[in-house]
Structure 1
Amino acid sequence: MKALDPELLMRRLMWPEGRVRMVLDTDTYNEIDDQFALVYALSSSPRLEVEAVYAAPFHNDRSEGPGHGMELSREEIERIFGLLNLETSGRVFSGSTSWLRDTEGGVASAACDDLIARARASAEDDPLYVVGIGAPTNIASALVAAPDIREKVVVVWLGGHPLYWPTAQEFNLRQDLEASRVLFDSGVPLVLLPCMHVAELARASSAELERYLDGRSEIGTYLSKIFREYEHYPQTEAGRSKQIWDLAPLAWLLDASWVDTVLEASPILTERMTWSRDASRHLIRVARHLDRDPLFADLFAKLG
Structure 2
Amino acid sequence: MTGLLAACQSEPKNGTPKKMKIIIDTDANNELDDQHALAYAFLNSDVFDVVGVTVNNTANGYGIQGQYDEALRIIRLFDLEDKIPLFMGADSNYVDILPHINDTLFDGQPAVDFIIREAMKMKDEKLVLVPVGKLTNIALAIAKEPSIVDKVRIIWLGSNYPNPGEYNLVNDVSSVNPVIESGAPFEIVTVRYGDSTATDAVRVTPAEVDEFLAGKGPVSPHTITGRHGGEFNSFGNYAKNLFEHAHMHGYPPSRALFDMVVLAVLKNPEWGTKHEIPAPKLINHAWEEQPENPHKIIYWDTFNRDAIVNDLFSLMEKTTPKQ
TM class by smaller structure: 0.7 to 0.9
Corresponding position: 1:274 with 2:268: no
User: Normalising by structure 1, what TM-score?
Assistant: 0.86
Q: CA RMSD in A?
A: 1.8
**Aligned residue runs from structure 1 range 169-180, under 5 A:** 169-180=165-176
Query: d(CA) in 2 for partners of 1:209 and 1:108?
Result: 35
- What is the aligned partner in structure 1 of residue 314 from structure 2? 301
Residue 145 (1) aligns with residue 154 (2): no
The aligned residue for residue 277 of structure 2 is 264
Partner of 2:28: helix, strand, or coil? Answer: coil
Deviation at 1:27, TM superposition (A): 0.2
Deviates more, 1:31-40 or 1:197-206: 197-206
CA contact (8 A) 1:131 1:157 kept: yes
Tell me the residue number matched to 1:223: 239
Query: What letter is aligned with 2:159?
Result: G
- Structure 1 stretch displaced more, 94-103 or 84-93: 84-93
**What residue is the counterpart of 1:42 in the other structure?**
42
- Contact 2:50 2:84 (C-alpha < 8 Å) held by counterparts: no
- Is the contact between residue 162 and residue 288 of structure 1 (CA under 8 Å) also seen in structure 2? no
CA shift in 2, pair 1:158/1:238, >3 Å: closer
How far apart in 2 are the matches of 1:188 and 1:104? 22
Distance in 2 separating the partners of 1:89 and 1:253: 22
Aligned-residue sequence identity (percent) comes to 28
User: What is aligned with 2:116?
Assistant: 116
Q: Which residue of 2 aligns with 1:287?
A: 300
Provide the rounded CA distance (Å) in 1 between the counterparts of 2:251 and 2:306: 21
* TM-superposed deviation, 1:97: 2.2
Partner deviation per Cα, 1:80-111 (whole Å, 9 max, x = no partner): 11111112576111111211115466454101
* Matched residue, 1:246: 259
Q: Is the 8 A contact 2:41 2:263 kept in 1?
A: yes
User: Following the alignment from structure 1 to structure 2, what is the Cα–Cα distance between the partners of residues 93 and 75?
Assistant: 11
Ranges in structure 2 where 5+ consecutive residues have no aligned partner: 1-6, 11-16, 102-106, 218-233, 318-323
Question: What does the per-residue CA deviation read over 1:231-279, in whole Å, with 9 as the maximum and x for residues that have no partner?
Answer: x237xx8611111111121111010110110111111100x21111112
After superposition, the Cα gap between the structure-2 partners of 1:49 and 1:273, relative to the gap in structure 1 and judged at 3 Å, is same
Specify every segment of 5 or more residues in structure 1 that has no aligned partner in the other structure, as ranges. Answer: 1-13
Deviates more, 1:256-265 or 1:79-88: 79-88
Q: The residue matched to 1:162 in structure 2 has which SS?
A: coil
For the 8 Å contact 1:262–1:285, the answer to whether it is kept is yes
